[in-house]
């Protein structure tokens, strides 16, 4: 799960990681009130979306007067912000962060991520932080340093020294940097994060270290023990169909293609997506209705696929083990009758009660195309979407 920068900075405050003064604004009036509270200029107006690269996309601007805060927040609220992380469609800006401007002397990069291959926490840092970090990683990889922390031992002073020396910090800054790194590590572990990133972590002209940006992602599987994090969820930032699917505990992810597909079991769903690609088409979604799905879950899943405007054909691929084929067929028929099917549907179904399932589909009066096996199913649906 992702949260906004202003929410991540609240978490940083809780851990005494220095951040600029400021707060969120949901309207122009809010923005002006927030600027008044800061009392001094420049003030930074920052678009809050769940994507990075805002600076380059025009989502981070400095204002030197109250008038400018007004002008900037008027133009930013409601704008479609396109960055290298949003895709071409961009994201609508609905929230801002109004912050005190700082005198930046140097921009560093600092992040923590789980490193799966070593089963450790990787501290990634660079003295060349800021908006071009991707280019630094690609062209000057020697400027990116990595220090691994064994989670059973935890972060130690030598880890902090290694990162500090790697960043070329002057001795007077090492102490405050190490304190920040320790607190960041604690936040990362205590909140079951999948990423904590500060880019840039700045050294100011006054020789203080401040997190100018903040990105915190959480492991969804650990959210049950962080109810405070769950309340930070912003469904404005998620795909509406994914929000809808999450209400029914469906594992649904919206994708770019035009073949909608409904499958039971994540492995079979991945194989189905591969075979759709092999047949020359591309999937519009990932949907695992689960091994033990009820007719109701199948119905909800099918309804969600049907409501995706990009879908030109649907492939239902079910291996009935725990989920019986007759239950699946009932769910499909119910959803189809309620929602109406505008696109061709190819069904490949095998397993428990398959005869009963086929009978339900056949007698439903719906126009369904049956496939003999997986390859046949993928080819049939690919042919349909190609027109
Ligand atoms: P991102 O582009 O989405 O990662 O947004 P950031 O929060 O990292 O901001 C982008 C850039 O804006 C930073 O790298 C800074 O160069 C600049 N910036 C942000 N806040 C300030 C500030 O208070 N003063 C100055 N001078 N520049 C700032
Ligand atoms: Mn940034």
Ligand 1 contact via 60 beta carbon (within 6 Å): yes
**pLDDT tens for each residue of 200-256:** 999 999 999 999 999 999 999 999 999 999 999 999 999 999 999 999 989 999 999
DSSP 387: -
Using alpha carbons, select from 191, 31, 140 the residue that is nearest to residue 95. 31
Q: Is the pLDDT of residue 106 over 90?
A: yes
Parallel/antiparallel/unpaired status of strands 80-81 and 259-263: unpaired
Question: Residue 102 has which token pair?
Answer: 């700082």
Phi, psi (degrees; rounded to nearest 5) at 312: -110, -15
Residue 134 among the catalytic residues: no
Mean pLDDT, the chain, as a whole number? 94
Report the distance separating Cα 5 and Cα 283, nearest Å: 32
Return the domain boundaries, the chain. Answer: 1-19+103-237, 21-101, 238-385
Question: How far does residue 205's CA lie from ligand 1's centre (Å)?
Answer: 15
Ligand 1 contact via 107 beta carbon (within 6 Å): yes
Question: How far does residue 278's CA lie from ligand 2's centre (Å)?
Answer: 38
Q: 50 in helix, strand or coil?
A: coil
Residues 6 or more apart from 361 whose CB is under 8 A from it?
Answer: 329, 332, 333, 347, 368, 370
Give yes or no for a contact between 70 and 31, defined as CB atoms under 8 angstroms apart. Answer: yes
Q: What is the mean pLDDT of residues 16-23?
A: 98
Instruction: Pick the residue whose CA is nearest to atom 16 on ligand 1.
Output: 130
Q: What is the mean pLDDT of residues 149-158?
A: 98
339 confidence band (pLDDT: 50, 70, 90) = confident
Residue 74 among the catalytic residues: no
Which one of the ligands is nearest to 54 CA?
1
* Per-residue pLDDT at 309: 92
The answer to whether the Cα torsion of 159, 162, 168, 169 is positive or negative is positive
Instruction: Pick the residue whose CA is nearest to atom 12 on ligand 1.
Output: 55
pTM score: 0.87
Count other Cβ atoms within 10 Å, centred on residue 37. 12
Among 121-125, 162-166, 332-336, which stretch is predicted with the lowest mean pLDDT? 332-336
Q: CA separation (Å) from 386 to 94, 229, 257, 282?
A: 38, 44, 12, 10
CATH of domain 1-19+103-237: 3.30.470.20
Q: How far is CA 269 from the centre of its chain?
A: 21
Specify the ligand 1 atom closest to the Cα of 52.
3
**pLDDT tens for each residue of 284-313:** 999 998 877 777 888 899 999 999 999 999
Strands (E), 91-155: 91-92, 96-100, 104-115, 120-126, 144-149
Question: How far does residue 43's CA lie from ligand 2's centre (Å)?
Answer: 17
Whether 21-101 shares its CATH topology with 238-385 is answered no
Q: What is the mean pLDDT of residues 359-366?
A: 90
Ligand 1 contact via 200 beta carbon (within 6 Å): yes
CATH of domain 238-385: 3.40.50.261
Say which residue, 41 or 264, is predicted with more confidence.
Answer: 41
**Catalytic-role residue among 5, 107, 197, 330:** 197
CATH of domain 21-101: 3.30.1490.20
Specify the ligand 1 atom closest to the Cα of 46.
7
Ligand 1 contact via 197 beta carbon (within 6 Å): no
């Amino acid at each position: 799960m992702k949260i906004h920068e202003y929410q991540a900075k609240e978490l940083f405050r809780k851990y005494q990681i220095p951040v600029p003064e400021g707060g969120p604004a949901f309207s122009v009036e809010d923005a002006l009130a927030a600027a008044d509270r800061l009392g001094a200029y420049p003030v930074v107006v920052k678009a809050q979306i769940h994507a990075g690269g805002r600076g380059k996309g025009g989502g981070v601007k400095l204002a030197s007067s109250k008038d400018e805060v007004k002008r900037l927040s008027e133009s930013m609220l409601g704008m479609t912000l396109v960055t290298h992380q949003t895709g071409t469609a961009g994201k609508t800006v609905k929230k801002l962060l109004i912050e005190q401007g700082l005198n930046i002397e140097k921009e560093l990069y600092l992040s923590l991520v789980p490193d799966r291959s070593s089963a450790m926490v990787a501290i990634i840092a660079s003295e060349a932080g800021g908006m071009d970090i991707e280019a630094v990683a690609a062209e000057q990889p020697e400027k990116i340093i990595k220090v691994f922390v064994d989670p059973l031992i935890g972060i130690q002073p030598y880890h902090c020294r290694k990162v500090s020396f790697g960043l070329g910090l002057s001795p007077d800054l090492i102490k405050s940097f190490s304190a920040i790194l320790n607190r960041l590590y604690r936040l990362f572990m205590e909140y079951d994060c999948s990423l904590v990133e500060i880019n840039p972590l700045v050294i100011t002209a006054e020789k203080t270290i401040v997190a100018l940006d903040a990105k915190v992602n959480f492991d969804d599987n650990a959210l049950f023990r962080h109810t405070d994090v769950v309340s930070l969820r912003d469904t404005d930032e998620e795909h509406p169909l994914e929000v809808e699917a999450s209400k029914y505990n469906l594992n649904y992810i919206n994708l770019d293609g035009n073949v909608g597909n409904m499958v039971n079991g994540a492995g079979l769903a991945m194989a189905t997506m591969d075979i759709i690609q092999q047949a020359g088409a591309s999937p519009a979604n990932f949907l695992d209705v689960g091994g033990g799905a009820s007719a109701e879950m199948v119905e909800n899943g099918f309804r969600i696929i049907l409501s995706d405007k990009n879908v030109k054909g649907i492939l239902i691929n079910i291996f009935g083990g725990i989920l019986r084929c007759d239950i699946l067929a009932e769910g499909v028929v119910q959803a189809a009758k309620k929602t109406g099917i505008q696109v061709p549907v190819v069904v490949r179904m095998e397993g428990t009660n398959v005869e009963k399932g086929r009978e339900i589909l056949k007698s439903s009066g719906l126009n369904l195309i049956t496939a003999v096996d997986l390859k046949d199913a993928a080819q049939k649906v690919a042919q349909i979407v190609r027109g």
